[in-house]
Structure 1
Amino acid sequence: MPAVALEAAAEVLASTQRQHVPLAVSPVAGLPELREALARRYRQRGATGLTAEQVLVTAGAKTGLFALLSELLQPGDDVLMPTPNWFGFDDLVRRAGGTLRALPLAAADNYVLRPQVLRAALTPATRLLIISNPNNPTGRVYSQAEWTELLAVTDEFPQLWVLSDEIYEGICFGPEAVPTLLAQPDVHQRHVVVSGFSKSLALAGWGVGCVVVPPALAPAIAARLFGTGAAAPTPAQAAALAATQHAESISGALCAQLAPTRAQLLAGLAALPGAPAIIAPEGTYYVFADFTRFLAPEWPAVEASARLVELLAAAGVEVVDGATCGAPGFARLSYAVPAADLEEALTRMQETFARLPMPAEIPG
């Protein structure tokens, strides 16, 4: 946890105690100084003209995401999402009334989303396109050039909203910083971003997120937040403000801390039996490992994937089943763990997989 964030939150509490007054309640859209700090940071990243009024601070990123989806979607609206992607989108879209439609991408070409593939998948009935950048679970980062090509397609659909989940934007191991959707031309004023402080700024557990929307949409989102929940507590927002003001140093230190275990996990996976070529993730703190070679061929893929995850859990290795992200036989593994724990996990995985027959070893 960043010391500057902890100190800022502690000062809010100490000041309240010194003055013998109740803890201040934030406006539902967030403390003005935090909204302005976030807007300033996005402007520094290329979102010229963005104002604090377009930024709404929420009690966690998921709260903001659900408010946004609930405001945008009507019952049955088509929502297109390239997969693999975060498993939580499915339930949130459903609860907001939408119908999620997967657009499968391939690990073999590093989950590239080609403009012609996107154009073929979009229809006049598609209300929303969801892209995570960096992607959870794959760690794929979509570059500025890729955004330009993809948005040239979405611009052909004036009714389409584009949502970019950027909660991991500060965890990047590629040659360039992760581009924000907010810095791209928005011809139809239909680009929205969801982010938060738990990942890139190391404030897990503080329950602060944000959404950034076009000016015309901001009052409706604020009204929905007011009618359905409460603002994030002021000490948590003070921590978020301090983290925002020191975002580059916090994210830089986090990436430096993660780099050794990232390399350790990649090397350990490459040493497993029959390991395919692994493309190192450019963002997040996950590796999305291909374990399809270990699936029991007599089982349906989703069931076989669940069984494999159960075998790993029985060995004391907890992973996220790739089937929940649209990719059975893959698993999301975190490298945001101590090196000794990661080494033990890799040893147990090696032992577990050594006991499983590879498809080529199974009698015909």
Structure 2
Amino acid sequence: MLISLASGYGDFAVPAVALEAAVQSLQGLAGPLPVSEAAGAPELRAALAARYRQRGAAQVRAEHVIITPGTKAALFAVFSEVLRPGGANEVLLPTPNWFGFGELVRRAGGQLRELPLRPADDYTLAPATLRQALRPETRLLLLTNPNNPTGRRYTAAEWAALLGVTGDFPGLLVLSDEIYEGIVFDDDPAAPYAPAPTLLAQPDPHGQHVVVSGFSKSLALAGWGLGLVVAPPALAARLAERQFALAGAVPAPSQAAALAATGHAEAIGAALCRQLQPNRELLLAGLRALPGQPDFAAPAGTYYIFADFSRLLAPSLPPLAASKALTAELAAAGVLAVDGGTCGAPGFLRLSYAVAETDLREALRRLGQFVAARHRTIKLD
């Protein structure tokens, strides 16, 4: 049986408070299901705005928040509204990053340009590097915090340094995908699972900052069709108009679940992190025990390890082809992983530990056998 460590969804139960709220929204209905305004239920938008204010984003109000039918829909809506065909339509994406961005940008009429970062530097984006990479056609800088697949988390100080650069480009938007904001592992015993710092807590004098997030990762509401955008007022209004024209409101039970989960977000996120902690330690230890495994630091966020297997690549193939072949061979050995080549890092594999412990242990056993066999083959060659 194939064991998947490739899924982006966790092995999480729906939070009881969210499930109860959804059920209550359906009980006692005498007529049709209520339909909110297209931008989302006012009480949900207000609750989300209040939570961002609690996290330091003093300027966020309900009218800045748009509820979308999923996070991909949120991303595509922003791309479609801000990219200008024939003009400034470039999206600058530091990599490694999520493999799905490229197709969304392309379908919105934009051009994606990658800015490779180095694992040896902990995937640090230096302000000088960013400044050199920006050009007149760059409309949007796209970051994820924490990063999928690397787990890299931007601190408030790092945000401030990068925004010191982007503030010199008033026509540039900065979009932070923060869907894994609550899956964070910190060394601070006083706040071991504190959410990642949000872009919205930083000063935004030019109205450049946009956050996209959702409920499927940090709040365990996968499959409920919920995403959100927090944007400056003019862009938020355009996004609301777009949603009214193309989609309509997210169903009321999903919004009721989201409202309940938002009210307990820190508790839900911390519970998920505690649930994930043993598997995180198991995968870290298992990878570090593999033959020839390069040393690596434990990622600060998400429920993935982005591990370097480039030593196993076939030297006769181009890097992308060799990475794809390696991933396929591992699948044939019984373990499904995400090919790092699709994320801008050939030879790496994204491995999820948000799975059942028994599956993770068996996957590690198979992975160990696979790596040992590859090492023997390389030595024989």
Name the TM-score class by shorter chain: over 0.9
1:68 and 1:221 in contact (8 A); partners too: yes
Residues in 1 aligned to 2:380 and 2:102: alpha-carbon distance in whole angstroms: 36
* Residues 118-141 of structure 1 deviation map (CA, whole Å, 9 limit, x = unaligned): 000001221000000000000000
Residues in 2 aligned to 1:95 and 1:133: alpha-carbon distance in whole angstroms: 24
The alignment partner of 1:162 has SS state of strand
The alignment partner of 2:115 has SS state of strand
Residues in 1 aligned to 2:289 and 2:307: alpha-carbon distance in whole angstroms: 12
| Structure 1 residue ranges without an equivalent (≥5) | none
Partner of 2:337: 319
Would you say 1:83 and 2:95 are equivalent positions?
yes
Q: Which amino acid aligns with 2:226?
A: V
Partner of 1:65: 75
Closer, same or farther in 2 for the Cα pair 1:362/1:128, shift >3 Å? farther
The alignment partner of 2:375 has SS state of coil
2:59 to 33, 49, 53: 49
**How far did residue 15 of structure 1 move?**
2.8
1:293 and 1:359 in contact (8 A); partners too: no
Residues 323-362 of structure 1: pairs in structure 2 closer than 5 A: 323-357=341-375, 361=379
User: What count of residue pairs does the alignment treat as equivalent?
Assistant: 360
**How far did residue 330 of structure 1 move?**
0.4
Partner of 1:223: 241
1:27 to 37, 48, 55: 37
* Residues 265-293 of structure 1 deviation map (CA, whole Å, 9 limit, x = unaligned): 00000011101112111011000010001
Residues 189-228 of structure 1: pairs in structure 2 closer than 5 A: 189-228=207-246
Output the TM-score relative to the length of structure 1: 0.97
Partner of 1:15: 28
Partner of 1:307: 325
1:59 and 1:209 in contact (8 A); partners too: yes
Q: Which amino acid aligns with 1:135?
A: N
Query: Sequence identity of aligned pairs in percent?
Result: 62
Would you say 1:233 and 2:251 are equivalent positions?
yes
| Structure 2 residue ranges without an equivalent (≥5) | 1-13, 189-193
CA RMSD in angstroms, aligned pairs only: 1.2
The alignment partner of 2:197 has SS state of coil
1:293 and 1:358 in contact (8 A); partners too: no
Q: Which amino acid aligns with 1:217?
A: L
Q: Which amino acid aligns with 1:321?
A: D
Partner of 1:283: 301
The alignment partner of 2:305 has SS state of strand
Partner of 1:101: 113
**How far did residue 216 of structure 1 move?**
1.7
2:142 and 2:176 in contact (8 A); partners too: yes
Residues 241-260 of structure 1: pairs in structure 2 closer than 5 A: 241-260=259-278
Closer, same or farther in 2 for the Cα pair 1:279/1:113, shift >3 Å? same
Residues in 2 aligned to 1:359 and 1:226: alpha-carbon distance in whole angstroms: 58
Q: Which amino acid aligns with 1:255?
A: C
Residues in 2 aligned to 1:167 and 1:358: alpha-carbon distance in whole angstroms: 41
The alignment partner of 2:27 has SS state of helix
* Residues 120-179 of structure 1 deviation map (CA, whole Å, 9 limit, x = unaligned): 000122100000000000000010110010000001111100000000000100246411
Output the TM-score relative to the length of structure 2: 0.93
Closer, same or farther in 2 for the Cα pair 1:183/1:345, shift >3 Å? same
The alignment partner of 1:56 has SS state of strand
Partner of 1:298: 316
The alignment partner of 2:146 has SS state of coil
The alignment partner of 1:24 has SS state of coil
Partner of 1:137: 149
Partner of 2:173: 161
**How far did residue 357 of structure 1 move?**
3.4
Q: Return the structure number with greater relative CO, CA threshold 8 A, min gap 6.
A: 2
Residues in 2 aligned to 1:331 and 1:230: alpha-carbon distance in whole angstroms: 38
